[in-house]
Amino acid sequence: MSDLIVAIDGPGGTGKSSVSRELARRAGLPHLDTGAFYRAATLAALEAGVDLDDGDAVTTVVEGSDFSQEEGRMYLDGRDVSDPIREDEITKGVSAVSAHPAVRAHLVELQRSWLRSHEGRGVVEGRDIGSVVFPDATVKVYLDASPEVRARRRAEQSGEDIAEVLEDLNRRDHLDSTRVASPMTVPRGAIVVDTSELDFEAVVEQLIGLLPSES
């Protein structure tokens, strides 16, 4: 079997996670959610009681922790943290943690080694996959949607107030796209899919159509 990497980047609220999972399932490929690594790193730092803006302290915690992901579950030092990493406190702190270059370097290496241990095949979703983690990915996709549509989708999922969600999305987008280390951008060679007017099935179908026929 040859390598087959599908890199899916884009901001939150585009349906990126559910679309990536479904694409992986239909294509018979393993799936990696790289955002979960940054969330687990944030949890580790909070539990260690370090200041999330202190790059050296956060890096020490992250380098001393064990992160792994299997079958859609995220593990921190062997403990399943899939649910706690979705808490508000983590969502609020994760942009600060993911801005530290040494934290990114460490987690990127873990993501590459995950792929090696899965025979070089997988659907990998995140913010810097096609640009930094796997610049030679077989297929690169950038999912996008208008901020209003993204906020509405998030609010429908979480039951939060749409205006608050929109404010938080804009804040995180700004932090993610202006940080010095691996700012979120459309990777070179990526196909941009605007999901604002598309339903879930239409997006999945479009991505299936991008896969090489051997898969």
Q: Which residues bind ligand DC (CB under 6 A)?
A: 12, 34-35, 38-39, 94-95, 98, 126-128, 172, 176
User: Is the distance from CB of 188 to CB of 142 less than 8 angstroms?
Assistant: no
Of 1 and 129, the one with the shorter C-beta distance to ligand DC is 129
Of 128 and 144, the one with the shorter C-beta distance to ligand DC is 128
Shortest Cβ distance from residue 90 to ligand DC (Å)?
A: 8
Q: Report which of 34, 57, 35, 31 is spatially closest to residue 45, judged by C-alpha positions.
A: 57
**Partners of 143 in the β-ladder:** 193
Alpha helices in the chain (DSSP H): 16-27, 35-48, 55-63, 88-98, 101-116, 147-158, 162-178, 200-208
User: Is the distance from CB of 1 to CB of 119 less than 8 angstroms?
Assistant: yes
Of 96 and 204, the one with the shorter C-beta distance to ligand DC is 96
Shortest Cβ distance from residue 39 to ligand DC (Å)?
A: 6
Shortest Cβ distance from residue 214 to ligand DC (Å)?
A: 27
Query: Alpha-carbon distance 83 to 89, whole Å?
Result: 12
Of 177 and 196, the one with the shorter C-beta distance to ligand DC is 177
Shortest Cβ distance from residue 79 to ligand DC (Å)?
A: 18
